[in-house]
Structure 1
Amino acid sequence: MITTTEALAATATLLRFATAGSVDDGKSTLVGRLLHDSKSVLTDQLEAVERASASRGQDGPDLALLTDGLRAEREQGITIDVAYRYFATPRRRFILADTPGHVQYTRNMVTGASTAELTVILVDARNGVVEQTRRHAAIAALLRVPHVVLAVNKMDLVGYREPVFAAIAEEFTAYATELGIPEVTAIPISALAGDNVVEPSAHMDWYGGPTVLEHLETVPVSHDLAHCHARLPVQYVIRPGTAEHPDYRGYAGQIAAGSFRVGEQVTVLPSGRTTTISGIDLLGEPVDVAWTTQSVTLLLADDIDVSRGDLIVPTKDAPPTTQDVEATVCHVADAALTVGHRVLLKHGTRTVKAIVKDIPSRLTLDDLSLHPHPGLLAANDIGRVKIRTAEPLPVDAYADSRRTGSFILIDPADGTTLTAGMVGESFAAPEPVKDAADDDGWDF
């Protein structure tokens, strides 16, 4: 039987990371180089890349094709969608998200970095820190990605000169510090030539730090569950109704944070009903304890009303419920988000009607200043919003939990994702006055 300690140790060997940067900074080439030089590419995959490269008149394999899989990506020479790759070395397993660099696809970085524990931000050594670099750094800061790597790429095109690297690293680190990013590791590389990606560079003897892969293999990844408030969003109520288990009623879902134990007192939100855990089923077998990312079924001592969308939490760590949510958001839809916009808010497994009551500010990335009351957020804008929901929601601050402190806004007409949000603080707003002339079920 696998013990809790052994399972946590296995989990700690996994690193989720994302790459980001401007168009043509070399993200896909870096990813391809990582996969190729760490021997994580199958022979038939490499042969397919070599054939595709030859058909385009290239002398050697274009490693960027290992990730730019869409036909449109290959034709345009850019990454459009988030490409996920899985690979491993003897020291660690990796899940990599290669995100687009084009400004119109910045929103895709939110998807790729939302679960990342490390982000690699690429900069072209010839261009230095540009607007997209600052935008990606801001998103990494907002998503509270614990570790950021600045990869100064194409050092071969600037003669491998140390002053070029030093100036870019200093400028980016100063900007990251203003954003509140706790740690930046700067590495000079050439993804095309392989310098400092997997193997140390023979052209930059002035650099004594780790290669990209060495840093990825050794960066500390925290899976300390002791400081997380346990949360289980209910996905499904299981009632088999068989002769063997006529009274079985279980509440299934993936544990979003913390751990649960048999006998622990829990509260079901938003109803506030309290009971105790009488059993935990994991893969059809009873266990005494379950923890983050495991999909389990909780059995409760009392027959209370629990349904999909409810949140089961330890009674001692129950978050407050609120209908007023203030958050920092990244707007991802082409259509603007405006004050008065009627939306659906999806938090965990619960979806409720909501109205955008105010947009207090929009972030200006050039100098990190706030543009007050912009009235709307356009695609890729980052700003603050105040939202009123039709029903109370149990929300955590994003700083406390990246899973239960986040949400998305959805267009109720066609299901389009509009905005990705990170809960800042709840605030008490006066009850809105209902307009009798506008009674369509959305005023609350």
Structure 2
Amino acid sequence: MNSKFLPLISGSLMTINFLMFWALPIFGMGQLWKLGFNKILISLYDLIDQNKIIRNFASQYIYTKPEHADYFTVSFLVTLQTVIMIPILFYTQLVYGYLPWWLIAIYYCLWVGFGGRTIGSAYTMAHKEGHNRNLYNPIIRPYIGNLFENYVGLFFGNIPWNFTTSHIFIHHRLDGGIGDTFYEWDLDRSSILDFMLYNHRVFLHMCGYSSLKFFHAHKDKVRANLLLTGIYTYCVVGITILALTRSIPFLFWIFIQPMLCMSYFLALMNIGFHGFIEFDENGTNIQCINSTTIINGTDDSFGEDDHMAHHYNTNVYYRDLPKLQESKIEEFKKYKASVFQKLSIVELSIFIVFGLWDKLADYYVDYSGKMTKDEIINLLKERAKRKETTYEEYEEYLSNPTLDIRKQFKEKTKINNSTK
């Protein structure tokens, strides 16, 4: 059987599922945001966020560093929505024996949030927690742990400890390269069919399978066991929900569907974050090309749009990113870096997957000021289609992804992509 057959079926089914149940809430909440709700909600948000009493409370009692009080308002609002909506769903199921379709629809819209703010914030905070084990004040840290990664995140499709383990020690250690459970450079990022393959690969990451395989192959028992604890936790919570509600539909709509949506969403976003590649004369991946930066993005969440800095200048706080970007202008100019402006990561990803180069070129930042639009289009197209290796070779490596085999495979690809 063709090695692509089952992944293609899996990715296609996930696409159908996304279009049937999530595309409308995401599109609808995005349009409501753009049609005027953004001004109202941003004003209300700022009213809370800039309150000195609230910020002082967060600085003193919630976070280790005062600047992290920036995260308090969004964390509070997402947590509040979750602790209100989840009991309402359980109450309705237990009292009436089912969930009406309109309640599920409302929940999905709120789960997404206006302009995708709820799902984006839940992901962002789990992400921040995974990167910073000392984010929270030591007094409360033992009690709340990684709140979004391990608790709230359960209802946003996240396996507990996923960021602390696989995101940090696989994705960041390898920077999207060979062995990464988010690897995509064996695929044409502008191919819809290849995106189906990528959906399947990211789902294996989301459920923990590919990360566990990586850790075991690298004899990293500590992270393997921690991630396995998270997988067990997710399963136990799912079984508990089923036992309480005695309803497979409830489990499917409220607990499983969010993972399917988040998996699809992350696959799409990662096409934008790492969709372009180019090699130097030694066959080494060029950093400012293989990770994307969006300047003045329309949906940025605490600096998540600068994915280049996120990988290669991880310790730079999001408020300091403009200075970092300014310091890199000569590098950006030299390599024609993957820098865009005034669009969202979702738009960037969609433009790549569907090959909308004419539209994407309008958002590209040409630091040389000398490129024509056709030159920009050709540059982006070539970089999105370029591969580091073939899908078949990479799948063969994944059958036994040990450290030694990964090093050999990486060296082989460097030689193949070298221009010397």
TM-based fold match above 0.5: no
Superposition TM-score, scaled by structure 2 size? 0.27
Higher helix share: 2
Superposition TM-score, scaled by structure 1 size? 0.26
Q: Which has the larger radius of gyration?
A: 1
Higher strand share: 1
